[in-house]
């Protein structure tokens, strides 16, 4: 068979170009258009059909985006874009868990379009409703870009690892927080100074609490939990603590003990239910998570057959996030259609949330009065709490009034740590509040 006849046959099997409507022309939207404009022939070859943009929408038509949009129809309302007859796939890059993004996605599904979105908040909070609606309409909703930017974690979990029972999934999934924590360590700067630097560099979300409060990363964790454990996304059940209380002191002391502090999300199914936590944790400095620098993300997946898989890459930014958007588009063009969270929405179990109870070692930092018997009182409280000490370090003292003491415990429960933290100030030998941080086994 000649190459010409192969080409004709291939073309005749496919229904023509896949037509995209892109709602939102910010960093990710323009990045997506750039990939399509730059790599059109390659995309068509890989997808088996041309991929074209027919229409776009954004808040501000006049904004200089440094690209030629003249071939695309313009809609000022994303819902109108979602209804257009010349759009096969509605790409939602507006963001926000309510309002226009949510409405436009529902309109698109109702109008028979498949949907690609980068909207983690929407999926973490309304994912079940959207998945059920999409499946009732016979449409797909794909969202590789919603979790960890350019890292192909959704396809890895729903595809390559689909034969595995997942024991645990965890990760550093907010690049801004990782930038702040690593910069604090490398420059020896306090949180407030580096937070301000991050703001100047444009790293922070419009509402910075989404980043530093751990909310953005928790949206991502809730999505991964759903896929990993076959449960409905349960963002409300994530125990969330941000990085605001991480001090340069703790970063330095943790480093002395061989650890780094990361905003780590962990989800695991236990006999009591689903544990999902997002909190600043210590991880060994020489572990892959401990080595993660700057705005990079990492996701670690543990499957019963495959063992541990570590994925690392850019968690945000134009190119990486648009790369993920386009991977979903290409799958739709190839007619790869999978249920939203990896199994039919009706089969997702309601998550049974459980408060974190999986034992771990803990790091504690106390400011101890420098007098005889003080340490004995601390050891006694820990003993009463059933906590065994693995390592302890007392630092020298300049003025003789108090000394920093670091304790690394053996594995213990969060309840025992809570009891100790509550009881320690009652000994009368510590100055200020004791600090505790979980040491996650990675």
In this structure, what token pair is assigned to residue 325?
Answer: 């958007």
User: Interaction with ligand HSE in 262-321: which residues (CB under 6 A)?
Assistant: 315-316
Q: Which one among 216, 250, 275, 328 touches ligand HSE, defined by CB under 6 A?
A: 216
Q: Which burial class, exposed, middle or buried, applies to 404 when counting CB atoms under 10 A from its CB (0-12, 13-18, 19+)? A: middle
Is residue 176 close enough to count as binding ligand HSE by CB under 6 A? yes
Asked whether the beta carbons of 216 and 261 are under 8 A apart, the reply is: no
Question: Among residues 155, 220, 262, 377, which one is catalytic?
Answer: 220
Residue 193 φ then ψ, to 5°: -65, -45
Q: Does 197 bind ligand HSE (CB under 6 A)?
A: no
If the CB atoms of residues 141 and 348 are measured against ligand HSE, the closer one turns out to be: 141
Minimal distance in Å, beta carbon 345 to ligand HSE? 24
**Least Å from the CB of residue 17 to ligand HSE:** 30
Q: Are strands 89-92 and 18-23 parallel, antiparallel or unpaired?
A: parallel
Q: Which stretch binds ligand HSE (CB under 6 A): 42-50, 173-181, 253-261, 366-374?
A: 173-181
* Residue-by-residue DSSP string for 265-291: EEEEEETTEEEEEEEEEEEETTSHHHH
Q: Is 17 buried (19+), middle (13-18) or exposed (0-12) by CB count in 10 A?
A: middle
Rule CB under 6 A: say whether 174 interacts with ligand HSE.
yes
Could you give the string, one character per residue 55-94, with x where binding to ligand HSE holds by CB under 6 A and - elsewhere? ----------------------------------------
Please indicate whether residue 262 is annotated as part of the active site: no
When the beta carbons of 175 and 280 are compared against ligand HSE, the nearer one is 175
Minimal distance, residue 220 CB to ligand HSE, in Å: 7
Which residue's C-beta sits nearest to ligand HSE?
Answer: 176
Burial of 210 (0-12, 13-18, 19+ CB in 10 A): buried
Q: How far is the CB of 44 from ligand HSE (least distance, A)?
A: 30
Residue from 92, 144, 185, 211 binding ligand HSE (CB under 6 A): 211
Q: How far is CA 156 from the centre of its chain?
A: 15
Burial label for 27, CB within 10 Å (0-12, 13-18, 19+), is middle
Judged by beta carbon, residue 265 or residue 315, the one nearer ligand HSE is 315
321, 28 Cβ separation under 8 angstroms: yes
Candidates 50, 150, 171, 175: give the one binding ligand HSE (CB under 6 A).
Answer: 175
Cβ burial 383-392 (10 Å sphere, 16+ → b, else e): eebebeeeee
**Cβ proximity to ligand HSE, 173 vs 345, nearer residue:** 173
Within a 10 A sphere around the Cβ of 146, how many other Cβ atoms?
A: 26
Active site residue ranges: 220
Footprint of ligand HSE on this chain (CB under 6 A)? 174-176, 205, 211, 216, 315-316
């Amino acid at each position: 068979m000649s190459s010409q006849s192969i080409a004709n046959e291939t073309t005749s099997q496919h229904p023509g170009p896949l037509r995209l409507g892109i709602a939102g022309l910010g960093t990710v939207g323009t990045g997506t258009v750039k990939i399509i404009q730059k790599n059109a022939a390659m995309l068509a070859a890989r997808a088996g059909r041309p991929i074209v943009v027919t229409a776009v929408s954004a808040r501000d038509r006049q904004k200089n985006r440094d690209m030629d949009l003249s071939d695309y129809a313009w809609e000022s309302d994303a819902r109108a874009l979602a209804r257009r007859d010349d759009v096969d796939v509605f790409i939602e890059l507006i963001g926000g868990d309510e309002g226009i993004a949510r409405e436009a996605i529902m309109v698109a599904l109702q109008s028979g379009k498949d949907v690609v979105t980068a909207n983690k908040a929407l999926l973490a909070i309304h994912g079940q409703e959207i998945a059920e609606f999409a499946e009732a309409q016979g449409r797909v909703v794909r969202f590789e870009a919603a979790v960890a930017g350019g890292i192909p974690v959704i396809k890895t979990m729903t595809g390559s690892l689909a034969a595995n029972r997942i024991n645990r999934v965890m990760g550093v999934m907010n690049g801004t927080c990782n930038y702040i924590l690593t910069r604090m360590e490398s420059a020896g700067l306090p949180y407030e100074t580096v937070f301000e630097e991050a703001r100047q560099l444009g790293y922070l979300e419009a509402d910075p609490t989404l980043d530093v409060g751990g909310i953005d990363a928790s949206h991502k964790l809730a999505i991964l939990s759903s896929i990993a454990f076959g449960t409905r996304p349960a963002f409300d059940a994530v125990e969330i603590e941000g990085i605001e209380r991480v001090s340069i002191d703790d970063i330095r002391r943790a480093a002395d003990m061989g650890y780094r502090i990361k905003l780590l999300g962990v989800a695991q199914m236990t006999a009591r239910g689903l544990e999902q936590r997002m909190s600043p944790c210590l991880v060994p400095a020489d572990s892959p998570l401990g080595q993660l620098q700057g705005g990079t993300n990492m996701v670690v997946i543990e499957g019963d057959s495959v063992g541990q898989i570590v994925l690392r890459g850019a968690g945000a930014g134009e190119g990486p996030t648009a790369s993920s958007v386009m991977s979903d588009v290409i799958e739709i063009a190839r007619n790869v259609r999978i249920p939203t969270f990896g199994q039919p929405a009706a089969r997702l179990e309601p998550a049974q949330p459980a408060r974190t109870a999986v034992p771990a070692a803990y790091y504690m930092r106390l400011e101890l009065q420098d007098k005889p018997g003080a340490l004995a009182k601390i050891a006694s409280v820990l003993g009463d709490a059933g906590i065994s000490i693995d390592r302890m370090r007392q630092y020298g003292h300049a003025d003789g009034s108090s000394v920093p003491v670091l304790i690394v415990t053996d594995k213990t429960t969060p309840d025992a740590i809570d009891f100790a933290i509550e009881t320690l100030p009652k000994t009368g030998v510590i100055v200020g509040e004791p600090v505790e941080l979980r040491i996650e086994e990675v």
